[in-house]
Amino acid sequence: MEDEMPDIDRYIEIGAIDVVGVDENGEFILSITDAAKELAPELWKAHMNHIDETLLSLYKSGLMQVEYDENLEAVFSLSKEGFEVAKQHGLLPMDVQKDIPNN
């Protein structure tokens, strides 16, 4: 874990990661910025892989359904449990005031 800190510090410094709050255990809550795509492509790629793997896991677990609209664009529907799992994995935006109790 200690080896990761210099990378996190560098990502924060260049604007690829924002600190959005502190959780109930005193841990920082981080958010990958849209600028990370250009500023830190390796971080962006890892982030996108995480999203893809989590979505696939939700689908395989029956916590998410995928339907296609008339333009063949995917529309995702999450069950209540799927919504919570997606939120825990950082797939859904946080309400900083509501979701971060120590903020």
What one-character-per-residue DSSP string does 29-43 give?
EEEE-TTHHHH-HHH
102, part of any domain: no
31, part of any domain: yes
Residue 66 CB contacts under 8 Å (≥ 6 apart), including other chains:
59, 74, 75, 76, 77
101, part of any domain: no
Domain count, the chain: 1
User: Residue 95: what pLDDT?
Assistant: 60
User: Residue 94: what pLDDT?
Assistant: 63
User: Residue 93: what pLDDT?
Assistant: 77
| Residues of the domain holding 64 | 4-95
Per-residue pLDDT of the chain (103 residues; tens, 9 = 90+): 445 556 899 999 999 999 988 878 888 888 899 999 999 999 999 999 999 999 999 999 999 999 999 999 999 999 999 999 998 888 887 665 555 555 4
89, part of any domain: yes
pTM for the predicted model, two decimal places: 0.70
CA-CA-CA-CA torsion for 83, 85, 89, 95, nearest 10 degrees? 40
User: Residue 33: what pLDDT?
Assistant: 94
68, part of any domain: yes
100, part of any domain: no
- For the record, the structure tokens of 91 come out as 């797939």
